[in-house]
Structure 1
Amino acid sequence: MNEDINRRLREAAEAHRPDRARMLARVERGMAGPAVRHRARPFARSGTRVVLAGLAAGGILTTGGLAVAAIVATPPPKPTVTTPTTLPPAVSSPPPKSAHPTPVVPPPATTPGSARPTPSATATSPSPTAGESRNGPLRSAGSLDAKSTVYWTQSNLALKTTQPLTSLTIEIRIVQTGGTKNTGTWQTLPGDDFTVTVQEAGGALVYRWVLKPGLTVPAGNHEFAAQFNNGAGVRKATGDGYRVDAQGSGGSASVRGGFVPTR
């Protein structure tokens, strides 16, 4: 409301132009009026009145001018400028570092006489290639595990079947070279699905897996391993071998072969 009144007064003051000529003419007309002869004082009184009227008009004009000048001279109120508060950019906190990072545990080393060392293959191992044998739905390959040493050996049999098997017998023969002793077996299929035996016969350690009746081996890649101590001296796998006999929906199939060093 105050800002609107100030604006209107300022505009009226700027638009006002006093007519000085008209004001002087009115003063002259008042002074040139007929004099009263029979009384001198009224003339003086009239002149005095004119002078007083002039002074009053001048005072009014002066006061109005000062008021208008004061209004014009008064600067308009400055608009309130709200300065936006600039917030610092958000900084994402890095994830907290663990005070005790989980160490990477290396795989346990294979030691002679271990009954179940860490296997080097899984059920998704690649199809056998070195020394490969094929028959019907079966494909097989034998190799010496890379963890084998001069004191201990693991002989691996990789077996692939393209059909489910309702009957499966696997036999691995390890030639007795003097001091060769069984230390265990391993397979990717459930151990409870097989009857596993190890015995000496005909100058060899014979490892045998027989699938229990009523169970089925699914199609895919599987692995079986025979583990043993080598005994004295450097041992070679020249006379070692395996045989696989299986039965599936397409009939019976058999594969056999030896064990090829991996290095």
Structure 2
Amino acid sequence: MTTQRDVHGELRTRLHTAAEAHEPDRARILARVERGMAGQGQAQVRSAHRATRPPLWSWTRIVGATAAVAGMLAVGGYAVASVVKGDTPAQQTVSASSPPAESPDATSRPPVSPRPTPSPGGGHQAGPSASPPKSPAAKPSPGTAPLLPVTTDEEEGPLWSDGSVDPHSNDFWAQSNVTLKTSEALTALTVQLKVAQTGGVSSAGAWRSPPEDDFVFSVAERDGFLVYTWVLKQGRTVPKGEWVFAGQYDHDRGGRDAHDDTYAIAGRSDGRQTVVGGDFAPHDDKDD
């Protein structure tokens, strides 16, 4: 036997199902409201002279129609919200990296040439430039290493040498490169670079292509020269090959004349001491 309660429950279930499946046509409902409002406006114009009904009646109908539409939209919106609830996509975030900060050293010093390519005939040619790590700028200190004898023999025994001013030198800063080639391993080595004091010359750093820990480095002012000295530590060796030692320095504004700059190299291999050296002036007589 079906009771009234069962009938009400079944009716309630059907109504819920219909409400969930219902998708209101909002455009059609709004069009009907607009047509109704337009028709009501025309009726008011036609009955303006006879006013058979009070004006309150027209607004009452409009308010009632609007309330009915609002109710239908609310029911449909509730059903749609119930269906799509929980389907909102997760928000996505996009991270943007900060622009890289420019290194302060990038503008303080021009790039330096780690491996000048000397001409076998003694010419002063420089190879491609790069930016090798620089040793900290050493302040002039009392010289402890003895000065090497001045010589113009750029090649002797297993040693070959060359001196050149780096092409990236400018009106305020310069770098002098001393290139050494050895055909034998060296058990002792001293490289000395002398930069003449032409005005405002002061050390701005130094570097070398062999391992830094293998050498004791010093820079000092002596007799009108800024002297850079690299001495191989006892027990260390320099393999055969090509090596570069470079001194960097500031100077007065303008082109600097390196005519009085010199270098000297003393190396030992197989118990034999060899000394080579030269200057940084162009060797036109050897290039011809």
TM-score for the superposition, normalised by structure 1? 0.53
Verify the 8 A CA contact 2:188 2:267 in the aligned structure 1: yes
Question: Does the C-alpha gap of structure 1 residues 213 and 110 become closer, same or farther in structure 2, counting only changes over 3 Å?
Answer: farther
Structure of greater Rg:
1
Q: 2:227 matched to 1:206?
A: yes
Q: Which runs of 5+ in 1 are unaligned?
A: 1-104
1:170–1:244 Cα contact (<8 Å) kept: yes
How many residues in Structure 1 have an aligned counterpart in Structure 2?
Answer: 153
**In 2, Cα distance between equivalents of 1:177 and 1:236:** 8
State the SS of the aligned residue for 1:165: coil
Deviations 1:12-52 (A, max 9, x none): xxxxxxxxxxxxxxxxxxxxxxxxxxxxxxxxxxxxxxxxx
* Residue 191 of structure 2: aligned partner: 170
Letter of the structure 1 residue corresponding to residue 187 of structure 2 = T
Give the deviation of 1:252 after TM superposition. Answer: 1.1
Question: Which residue, out of 213, 235, 251, partners 1:192?
Answer: 213
- Among candidates 102, 115, 120, match of residue 113 of structure 2: 120
CA distance in 1, matches of 2:162, 2:250: 22
Give the % identical residues: 41
Aligned mates of 2:107, 2:209 — CA distance in 1: 18
In the other structure, the counterpart of 2:94 is none
CA distance in 1, matches of 2:107, 2:182: 29
Distance in 1 (alpha carbons) for counterparts of 2:176 and 2:107 = 14
Give the deviation of 1:230 after TM superposition: 1.5
Call closer, same or farther: CA 1:227–1:110 in 2, change over 3 Å: farther
Shift in Å at residue 127 of structure 1?
Answer: 4.8
Question: How far apart are 1:148 and its partner, in Å?
Answer: 0.5
Instruction: State which of 170, 179, 190 in structure 2 corresponds to 1:158.
Output: 179
CA pair 176-223 structure 1, distance change in 2 beyond 3 A: same
| RMSD of aligned alpha carbons | 2.7
Distance in 2 of aligned mates of 1:219 and 1:246:
12
Determine the structure 2 residue equivalent to 1:136.
157
Alpha carbons of structure 1 residues 127 and 223: separation in structure 2 relative to 1, 3 Å: same
Task: Confirm or deny: 8 A CA contact 2:171 2:253 kept in the other structure.
Answer: no
Match of 1:241 in 2: 262
Instruction: Show the counterpart of 2:167.
Output: 146
CA–CA distance in 1 between the matches of 2:111 and 2:248? 11
Q: Within 5 Å, give how 1:63-74 maps onto structure 2.
A: none
Give TM-score scaled by structure 2 length: 0.48
- Alpha-carbon distance between aligned partners in 2 of 1:217 and 1:145, rounded to the nearest angstrom: 24
3-state SS of paired residue (1:179): coil
CA distance in 1, matches of 2:184, 2:271: 8
Q: Alignment partner of 1:148: what SS?
A: coil
Separation of aligned partners in 2, 1:110 and 1:160: 32
Pick one of 222, 228, 231 that aligns with 2:243.
Answer: 222
SS at match of 2:187: strand
Structure 2 runs not aligned, ≥5 long: 1-101, 125-152, 284-288
Q: Deviations over 1:117-154 (max 9, x none)?
A: 644124xx645441681011000011111110111100
1:11-160 correspondence runs (5 A) = 111=108, 114=109, 118-122=111-115, 126-129=117-120, 130=123, 133-160=154-181
- Structure 1 residue 250: deviation in Å? 5.8
Give the superposition deviation at 1:229: 0.5
Using the alignment, how far apart are the partners of 1:170 and 1:237 within structure 2? 18
Measure the CA separation in 1 of the matches of 2:207 and 2:106.
Answer: 16
